Structure 1
């Protein structure tokens, strides 16, 4: 596989150089190149956030005030080629009365996984032609709208986003169809350069991989959008990766049908299966999601039931997903328990005085043994002003049950963001 990586890199570089070789060395060509290079777009964002965590255990309550800042630049296109670079900084404002995922020397506090640090968040060369986009380098890879990145995502709720050192290809030649492929060499995790978590295969903030992602989406059906996927995760490390490498194959249908001008029925059905891959040794576990609800004059109410199977040793997991968006914002189930998890939840989304309201109630149960795994109530209110400024408040309250164990957890967030 190292030879394949080198060949891929050399091919892209050669292709890029060849595009310049055939351009006449004229003043007009030079002007076009400089215009593409200097006439791009600058992007900037800053998100200041206060987070507090209270848990019914021996850990001290956490209080974290952090600031995430990004600065990026995207060039214009020149013969189909363009580039993008983005820097990201996470700073701790005030005292470190929280455990920043083991990176700030405060193990006695509850975790707020926002380590300090400055890094290159994205840096890639892109080529767009023939209804196809190629990207080579450090980049964001997602296949669904934020924040619902079930399998592959940015972990965008945390201050240090997850990105990938990868080659990605997206093709839209066929009507109503998007075909995507990505090869991942490294995962740049949320834990920063000082993050070393052997339990998650994280070494100096990175996960080394030899992974392939396939995703196909078709929007031409009258009943909804159809998606099929295959995610082949091969962890490469000196640590035994037999419990980590796994292949996931799935299909999803999501749609809506108008009953009248004011009311729509919405629905989702998804099934996936996960088994060992490469050096992995897990036993097959399945996943399912069924949702049914309605939209009425800007309000959404839906009932969902999601199952991640587990047999007491292995369970269905989504290690590269934005898992904060699933199984409760208190983050007690970021990793699926070995016994699996069934989550029955009700979601209400609406608009209150121009602000977005989201409220969710979860009822948890293990897949194996049907143990009561607790319940959780989540609520968020956020408002965006003049397209660039956002204020938000969010609260999560998880109540554990003695039958399963777990820890009662309350979390509260208050944040403000500016984005250009």
Structure 2
């Protein structure tokens, strides 16, 4: 199935390229008309980053350059497009442990920064897209909702993609989104051995309805991995799981310059297929976000529950978005996790898109409510013409889990 998905996308590419010579683009980076109905859209995404990690026992300095380049051909009458994209990451300063689990490539004297050198095919897909229907076949990026369950892990230099077939439909207020994937292409790159990609049978199922400012979705994520990674006596980090839940969002206007966004979600996870664990763990998330006069205040609670010593896991998520930027909780502790967080952000739209935010997290276990630690996160970003600049900071203070960890990033992004 995996070969068929990529083969279909690969066969379409030369057919689409067999067209008249390209016309001159209107502006650098914009789509180029090939014919009256066909356009060629070049893509380039470059990111230069310095990441510093400071812990009581190990430090790291990682300077990496990530480049994604490719193209998308779109044929307007047929609603078809072909996209091909390569991705490469260069280690400029390699004082970091990028492949801690690979013998001969690990650098155990340094702290982990999972941005190893890499060159790979990131995406190769065929897509049919109208306002109501979408069908995507091939290696693709998949970001579902807030990416708590399935995401592209865009923060890391090497993106996570999927070899998959995805169908989307919107009919009036009703939507459906169904994906079957047989390979999870991880962030670790081509030198990561068995962690380069995890094969299996994966279903991502969503159905929902939108009524005015309120959207409600039911979802199911069914993960059946071919290979299991053992942690202790049970396969926990890559266990076969079935997760069922519901997510509701509301965007409520409060006058001309204010709005209130509300999020609520509940899910229940159990073992599935070859998972030997007999457990049932709950997921809960509640968040309120108030925006007024360029300020945004956020408060929320998230629980990744635990039952019988087995905690709920989300191995396909964009994990850096959740539970603190220091990344102490990429794998949920066996006693579960509760995260209470508050944040304040400010946008300065007249100052080159300047934005700043700060967030505080308070972490406890789900079982026993044991204090894990606290974390402060902060960032400042702005743009200079087409270059986006970012400074970012995370400071985790351990109480009962992990060690004190400080991380700092400086980053420059250019894309068209």
User: TM class, shorter-chain normalised?
Assistant: 0.7 to 0.9
- TM-score normalized with structure 2 length: 0.86
After superposition, the Cα gap between the structure-2 partners of 1:345 and 1:131, relative to the gap in structure 1 and judged at 3 Å, is same
Question: How far off is 1:170 after superposition?
Answer: 1.1
Equivalent position SS for 2:312: coil
Question: How far off is 1:365 after superposition?
Answer: 0.4
Equivalent position SS for 2:203: strand
Which of residues 183, 186, 192 is equivalent to 2:183? 186
Counterparts of 1:8-407 in structure 2, within 5 Å, are 35=35, 39-56=39-56, 58-59=57-58, 61-77=59-75, 79-94=78-93, 96-102=94-100, 104-128=105-129, 131-144=132-145, 148-172=146-170, 174-196=171-193, 203-222=194-213, 224-237=214-227, 243=236, 244-282=239-277, 283-311=279-307, 313-352=309-348, 353=351, 354-386=353-385, 388-401=386-399, 404-407=400-403
CA RMSD of aligned residues (A): 2.7
Aligned length: 386
After superposition, the Cα gap between the structure-2 partners of 1:234 and 1:378, relative to the gap in structure 1 and judged at 3 Å, is same
After superposition, the Cα gap between the structure-2 partners of 1:129 and 1:397, relative to the gap in structure 1 and judged at 3 Å, is closer
Deviations for 1:338-391, whole angstroms, at most 9, x for unmatched residues?
0000000002121144411121100000001110000000001111344x3200
Question: How far off is 1:40 after superposition?
Answer: 1.2
Q: Where is the strand percentage greater, Structure 1 or Structure 2?
A: 2
Partner residue, 1:199: none
Partner residue, 2:412: 416
Question: How far off is 1:219 after superposition?
Answer: 2.5
Equivalent position SS for 2:159: coil
Question: How far off is 1:257 after superposition?
Answer: 2.2
Larger displacement relative to structure 2 (40-49 or 71-80):
71-80
After superposition, the Cα gap between the structure-2 partners of 1:177 and 1:84, relative to the gap in structure 1 and judged at 3 Å, is same
Question: How far off is 1:323 after superposition?
Answer: 0.7
Contact 1:312 1:368 in 2 (8 A): no
Contact 1:242 1:279 in 2 (8 A): no
Unpaired stretches in structure 2, ≥5 consecutive residues:
21-32
Contact 1:66 1:93 in 2 (8 A): yes
2-structure distance, mates of 1:81, 1:36: 15
1-structure distance, mates of 2:96, 2:360: 27
Deviations for 1:75-104, whole angstroms, at most 9, x for unmatched residues?
12263332110010100113x211013254
Contact 2:242 2:272 in 1 (8 A): yes
Equivalent position SS for 1:286: strand
Contact 2:51 2:408 in 1 (8 A): yes
Equivalent position SS for 1:76: strand
Unpaired stretches in structure 1, ≥5 consecutive residues:
21-26, 197-202
- TM-score normalized with structure 1 length: 0.85
Equivalent position SS for 1:324: helix
- After TM superposition, the runs of 4+ consecutive aligned structure 1 residues lying more than 6 A away are 5-10, 238-241
